Structures are given as structure tokens and as C-alpha cells.
């Protein structure tokens, strides 16, 4: 047995984005009491007969109860010292087993409606939607992963603009969609140009329904039409 080659555990970590009508949030979890204050990205070691994509799907299913969430692998993080801080080693000891000297992780992006009822009870002591600008200090290199994920989510949306609707309720107003775009790109977007842009999306369809009991002109609701999206995609 040559010893110079790494022989290691591999994990997945998921950066799950949500949108609270004001800003992007990321779903963090706390699993046990070792470091009571430490929230982290949801993740897991991967099993023997499991692909990394399947492991990410499993983690997300345990969190949300959704079988096949949209997800996108974006990077393997493998710095030799990413799991070497004493508190992180301690956490690994307790959560998995002692003597995990090194841990490689594969990071995933995913999107989730923020009002989705989560499987709080089963696996996690706590789950928390955390606004992007209030990220706590997290264990391992999770802060670095979140930072990189912001670049990737923009690239993902550029590649497939229709995924943003996974961040919105089934019916939404143009205004909500507008705020979402502003949050993602972190800049102001002219509302008139934005209306035109949305009008050019055949997969955003107007509903008959309007807002009720709002102290201003009621906004129309829209929905995302998946079939129209697929037809539209096929034409490009």
C-alpha cells in the first residue's frame, strides 16, 4: 500500500438559496450540540454506492421533502487544511467518527421557495434561513463556499433564466420578480424595461387574479408555465 496517495472521505455541501421578498437567503442547519452556536451548510458524507449527485439529492430531500430539486454541482473544495481546525475536527469526531484527517467536499447550488415547510424535526436541531448579508462565521470553509456560490448562481441563471421561478411562490407579481432580479444582480433594474423583458418571456403567463386588500392599486398575479418554457427552450 503506497501511502502517498490520499484515501479519504468525500462529502457534499449544499448552498440552498431562498428569497424572502427582499433579499437572498441561504439555508443553514445545526445538527448537534457540540458547537451549539455553529450553523453550517447542510451536507453529508457520501455513501459507498452513491454518486455525488445522488448524495446532494438525498441531503436536499431530508431537508425539504422534495425528491428531485433543481441542483447544480459547482465546485470541489479540497484544500488539505479545510477540515483541520480543532473545532472542526471535534465536530467530525462526534458527528461521524474519529480520525477523519482530511475531507474533500463537492459543493452544490440549489433553490427553494422560502415558505416551504422544512423537515425540521427529523434530522436537524435547527434550520434557519439566513440573509446573505448576515452570514455567521461557519465551520470548515463554508463561508468560502457561499462566497463562490454567489458567482455561480448568476452564471446558472444566465444559462437558464427560468430557474429563478423556483425561488418564488406559484403565483407572484411582477414586482416580486423584479425585486428578485435586483437581489440576484445586486443592482437596480428599471421597472419599465423589466416589464418589457417579462412580456418577452412566453412562459410567464398572466392570471385573472389580482391582489386583494392592499392599500394601493392591486397587482396582477402571474405564474410560471413549465410547458411553455420547454417549448421556448427547444426553439433556441
Partner DNA sequence: TCAAAAGTGTTCGATATACACCCATGC
Partner DNA sequence: GCATGGGTGTATATCGAACACTTTTGA
Residue 195 makes contact with DNA by CB under 7 A: yes
Distance CA 189, CA 74 (A): 27
Residue 155 makes contact with a second copy by CB under 8 A: yes
Task: Give me the least distance between CB of 170 and DNA, in Å please.
Answer: 17
Give the total of residues touching a second copy (CB under 8 A): 32
Residue 145 makes contact with a second copy by CB under 8 A: no
118 Cβ contact list (under 8 Å, min separation 6): 27, 63, 64, 65, 127
Residue 236 makes contact with DNA by CB under 7 A: no
Q: Which of 23, 35, 70, 73 binds a second copy (CB under 8 A)?
A: 73
Residues in the chain: 236
Binding-site partner at residue 218 among a second copy, DNA, none, CB < 5 to 8 Å by type: DNA
Task: Give me the least distance between CB of 206 and DNA, in Å please.
Answer: 9
Q: Which of 34, 52, 66, 114 binds a second copy (CB under 8 A)?
A: 52
User: Based on CB atoms, which residue is closest to a second copy, 20 or 53?
Assistant: 53
Residue 209 makes contact with a second copy by CB under 8 A: no
Q: In what order do the strands lie in the sheet with 220-224?
A: 171-172, 220-224, 204-210
User: Based on CB atoms, which residue is closest to DNA, 125 or 231?
Assistant: 231
Closest by Cα among 228, 219, 134 to 178: 219
Residue 171 makes contact with DNA by CB under 7 A: no
Distance CA 60, CA 67 (A): 8
32 Cβ contact list (under 8 Å, min separation 6): 94, 95, 125
Q: Which residues pair with 220 in a beta bridge?
A: 210
Binding-site partner at residue 207 among DNA, a second copy, none, CB < 5 to 8 Å by type: none
Task: Give me the least distance between CB of 84 and a second copy, in Å please.
Answer: 11
Longest dimension (CA), the chain: 73
**HSE-up of residue 130 (Cα within 13 Å, Cβ side):** 24
| Strands 220-224 vs 171-172: parallel, antiparallel or unpaired | antiparallel
Task: Give me the least distance between CB of 82 and a second copy, in Å please.
Answer: 9
Tell me the Cα Rg of the chain: 20
- Site residues, a second copy (CB under 8 A): 1-10, 45-53, 73, 75-76, 78-80, 96-97, 102, 104, 106, 155, 159
Binding site for DNA (CB under 7 A): 173-175, 190-193, 195-197, 210, 212-220
Amino acid at each position: 500500500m503506497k501511502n502517498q496517495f490520499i484515501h479519504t472521505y468525500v462529502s457534499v455541501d449544499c448552498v440552498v438559496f431562498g428569497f424572502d421578498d427582499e433579499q437572498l437567503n441561504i439555508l443553514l442547519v445545526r445538527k448537534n450540540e457540540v458547537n451549539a452556536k455553529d450553523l453550517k451548510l447542510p451536507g453529508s458524507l457520501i455513501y459507498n454506492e452513491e454518486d455525488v449527485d445522488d448524495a446532494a439529492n438525498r441531503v436536499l430531500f431530508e431537508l425539504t421533502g422534495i425528491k428531485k430539486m433543481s441542483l447544480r454541482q459547482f465546485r470541489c473544495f479540497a484544500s488539505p487544511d479545510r477540515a483541520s481546525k480543532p473545532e472542526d475536527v471535534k465536530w467530525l469526531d462526534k458527528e461521524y467518527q474519529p480520525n477523519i484527517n482530511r475531507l474533500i467536499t463537492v459543493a452544490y447550488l440549489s433553490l427553494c421557495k422560502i415558505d416551504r415547510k422544512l423537515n425540521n424535526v427529523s434530522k436537524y436541531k435547527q434550520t434557519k434561513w439566513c440573509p446573505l448579508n448576515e452570514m455567521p462565521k461557519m465551520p470548515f470553509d463554508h463561508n468560502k463556499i457561499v462566497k463562490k456560490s454567489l458567482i455561480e448562481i448568476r452564471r446558472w441563471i444566465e444559462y437558464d433564466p427560468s430557474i429563478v421561478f423556483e425561488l418564488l411562490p406559484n403565483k407572484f407579481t411582477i414586482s416580486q420578480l423584479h425585486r428578485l432580479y435586483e437581489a440576484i444582480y445586486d443592482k437596480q433594474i428599471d421597472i419599465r424595461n423589466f416589464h418589457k423583458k417579462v412580456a418577452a418571456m412566453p412562459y410567464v403567463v398572466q392570471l385573472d387574479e389580482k391582489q386583494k386588500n392592499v392599500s394601493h392599486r392591486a397587482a396582477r398575479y402571474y405564474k410560471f408555465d413549465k410547458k411553455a418554457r420547454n417549448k421556448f427552450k427547444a426553439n433556441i
